[in-house]
Amino acid sequence: MDIASNIRLVLAELPKDVKLVAISKTKTVEEILRAYQAGQRIFGENKVQELVSKYEQLPKDIEWHLVGHLQTNKVKYIAPFVHMIHSVDSMLLLKEIDKQAKKHNRIISCLLEVYIAKEETKFGLSDQEIYELIESPYFTESNNVRIVGLMGMATFTDNNDQIRHEFQHLAMLFKKLKESKFADNPEFKEISMGMSSDFLIAVEEGSTMVRVGSKIFGERNYNPDH
Ligand SMILES: *Cc1c(COP(=O)(O)O)cnc(C)c1O
């Protein structure tokens, strides 16, 4: 299957109001252009250097999302253009995004990454750490970041019940925050969950944004960093 058909197949399975973030990490500019020509405008990368390089080479109406772990010292490279950062997992990182966004006179949309998997390798915050971050005095002072929701990654497993439970957990936490801390904030509306192998389950559990890579671009060559 070619990239354009893959995109149409994925879109056909998504409700109209669920956004598709095409995860293009390790893929070439030519491959991304094929998706672009099929109408896709939202792309996600997990490495800062790769994201910057692709941003420079590709059409400027692409919305770039950073989905991988972000080091504070690298925020400055993406702050001029990044549309959304899915992986905010500390107050320190949020403060740095705020500072760099301010320099460019921008407001950067961010998702708080919640640790929902039963694996030690996944990044993210526990429910309690999410509350601590939101209740921190720095949080309300960060005027150049806009917290638009939560992101989570399920355990890499064939056990669909477990994956579903993890997504339910994320959706429940989102609902609780929406009704309390973000009750007056209509911008808090996104749940980024679901990848190639589990996005249908994620959508059933309330995902508003799926991050799909290999189902669009084909399998990635093995690389422990990707
Ligand atoms: C790679 C990646 C994806 C996409 O994974 P696929 O299984 O290829 O769809 C989604 N989210 C994050 C954070 C990723 O790093």
Q: Per-residue pLDDT for the chain (226 aa), expressed as one digit of tens each?
A: 799 999 999 999 999 999 999 999 999 999 999 999 999 999 999 999 999 999 999 999 999 999 999 999 999 999 999 999 999 999 999 999 999 999 999 999 999 999 999 877 668 999 999 999 999 988 989 999 999 999 999 999 999 999 999 999 999 999 999 999 999 999 999 999 999 999 999 999 999 999 999 999 998 875 555 4
pLDDT digits 0-9 by tens, 21-63: 999 999 999 999 999 999 999 999 999 999 999 999 999 999 9
Q: Which of 50, 211, 214, 216 to mutate to test the pocket of ligand 1 (most atoms within 8 A of CB)?
A: 211
Residue among 195, 215, 217 to mutate when testing ligand 1 (max atoms within 8 A of CB):
195
**Ligand 1 within 6 A of CB of 46:** yes
> How many C-beta atoms surround the C-beta of residue 25 within 10 A?
20
Q: Where do the domains of the chain lie?
A: 3-217
Instruction: Give the atom of ligand 1 at the shortest distance from the alpha carbon of 86.
Output: 13
SS in 3 state form for 85-126? EEEECCHHHHHHHHHHHHHCCCCEEEEEEECCCCCCCCCCEC
C-alpha–C-alpha distance, residues 204 and 148, integer Å: 20
Residue among 35, 32, 72 at smallest CA distance from 51: 32
Q: Give the domain 3-217 fold.
A: TIM Barrel (3.20.20)
Length of the chain: 226
Q: How far is the CA of 81 from the centre of ligand 1 (A)?
A: 21
Which structure tokens are listed for 176?
A: 């609780």
Query: CA neighbours within 13 Å on the CB side: how many for 140?
Result: 7
Closest CA to 105 of 79, 138, 133, 132: 79
